Every structure is written in structure tokens, then in C-alpha cells.
Amino acid sequence: MEEEMELRQYWDVLRKRWMIVVVIPLIAALTSGMISFFVMKPVYQASTTLIVGKKAAETGKDPTQILDNSVLLANQQLAKTYATIAQSRTVEQNVLKDLNLPLTVDELNSLIAINPVKTTEILEIQVTNTNSELAALIANTMAQEFTKAVIEIKKVDSVSIVDTAVIPDKPIKPKKTLNVLIAFVVGLMASVGLVFLLEYMDNTVKTLSDVEKLLGIPVLGIIPDYEMGKQG
């Protein structure tokens, strides 16, 4: 019974200031939507994948045979080394030169992520940019320059492009719907917290129960407002 009374009191508090509970989440969601749809620029991601390791013919095996575990493990370790080469200053400078991009090496580097795929010989080059065509172009040029660098440094042709980057048709961010939903939920939580804070700070006496709590004694009677009754 006491739990029901507490829940009812909470509901009464929220109902009394329902405007705050409704308006703040709507404003937060609307603001997030405006920013996500009209302010934030869409960011696209293009990726190309390369296989790292010697070709089957170079390992003395038939091309249809799978590399044994020792060779596979060695190539996986090499993938980490190649990831460093792929994101080296030399490779990135060549990409800037090939594409004639008005960027510094550090700016280009911030757009690129090199990810060795675990338990495989695959190396993935990801490029993010607000221009979808440029993202794909940079990714493919990175793959080409990376291959040249490996041939020169490792003295073996040990990189084959598995998938070239294609122009992405959908941005990876902002996630507009998710942003609006998160803003609404955060706004709702903030509004509920604000309502209970205002109720806690309100020390005025409004009901008989408030009087009993304040004085610590039961209320025996009520003196009506004669003027109020007379006006009615």
C-alpha cells in the first residue's frame, strides 16, 4: 500500500509539471534533428582489401593448395608490418602527389585507418571523407602506392588487391534517427530530474499532509475561507 502511495505521489508530481516533461524532450529531439539533418555534413567510408603474403607458386606449392599453418602465421605477422608501411609518410606523400590533394600528410593520415583482419592474411584500408568519390579514390590510390612500396622494400611481390574501393552510396555518420532518439531520451531523463528537483526545492505548504509533516501532529479541523465561499 505504501509503495502504491509513493508511486501515486510520483505520478502527481509529474502530472503537475507535465509541460516540462513534454517540452524539454521535444526541444532536445528537434534540436538534434536540425543539427543532424541540416548542419552536420555526411561522412562516407570507402575501403579496399588486400591479401598479404607470398603467392602459392612462390612458396613451392600448387596454386590450388592452401598455405600451411606456419606460412599462414608468418604472413599474419607480416600483415602488421605492412600496415605500418601502408600508413607511412612515404606512401601518403605519394598519394597526395598522385591525386594533387590540398592536404598535409597529417590531414590525410587522419582520414585513413589500416586494419589487419584477425586470423587472416587480409589487410583493409579504410578512408573516410565528406566526399564519397574522393574517399574511394584515395582508398584505391593508397592500395596502389602501398603495393609499390612493398615491392621496393620487401623485394617481393607479396600483395594482391582482393577488392577495390567502390563509391559508397550511404554515409556512415551522422546516424540521424539514432541521434534524434538519443536526444529525446536524454531530454526526457533531464526533464524528469528537473521536475523532481523543483518539487524538492518547493517548501510551500499546499495540502493537509504537508501540514502534518511540517508540525508532526494530526490536523483536527479546517477553517474555510469565508470570502472565497462568499464569492462563489
Coil, helix or strand for 143?
A: helix
187 and 204 fall within a common domain: yes
Q: What is the CA radius of gyration of the chain?
A: 33
Please report whether residue 124 resides in a domain. Answer: yes
Compute the CA torsion angle 116, 120, 121, 122 (nearest 10 deg).
Answer: -50
Question: How many domains does the chain divide into?
Answer: 2
CATH of the domain at 155: 3.30.70.1130
The cell numbers describing 172, all together, are: 556512415
More confident: 138 or 229: 138
62 and 123 fall within a common domain: yes
135 and 223 fall within a common domain: no
Specify the range with the lowest mean pLDDT, choosing from 106-115, 117-126, 161-170.
117-126
Query: 163, 191, 216 — which closes off a domain?
Result: 163
48 and 32 fall within a common domain: no
Coil, helix or strand for 31?
A: helix
Beta strands in 68-195 (DSSP E): 112-116, 122-129, 159-163
Note the pLDDT tens digit of each residue in 1-52.
455 557 777 888 888 889 999 999 999 999 999 999 999 999 999 999 988 7
78 and 11 fall within a common domain: no
105 and 50 fall within a common domain: yes
Coil, helix or strand for 46?
A: strand
52 and 155 fall within a common domain: yes
33 and 59 fall within a common domain: no
Domain containing 220 equals 2-39+178-231
Note the pLDDT tens digit of each residue in 142-188.
999 998 888 787 665 567 888 999 999 999 999 999 999 999 999 99
The cell numbers describing 4, all together, are: 502504491
CA 98, distance to chain mean position in Å, is 32
Please report whether residue 103 resides in a domain. Answer: yes
Coil, helix or strand for 113?
A: strand
CB atoms within 10 A of CB 96: 19
Query: 111, 138, 163 — which closes off a domain?
Result: 163
157 and 118 fall within a common domain: yes
25 and 66 fall within a common domain: no
Q: Is the pLDDT of residue 223 over 80?
A: no
122 and 199 fall within a common domain: no
201 and 118 fall within a common domain: no
Q: Closest Cα to residue 114, out of 105, 122, 104?
A: 122
Q: Long-range contacts of range 31-37, CB-CB < 8 Å, 24 or more positions apart?
A: 31/183, 32/179, 32/180, 32/182, 32/183, 32/184, 33/176, 33/179, 33/180, 33/183, 35/179, 36/174, 36/175, 36/176, 36/179, 36/180, 37/176
Please report whether residue 218 resides in a domain. Answer: yes
Q: Is the pLDDT of residue 214 over 80?
A: no
Please report whether residue 117 resides in a domain. Answer: yes
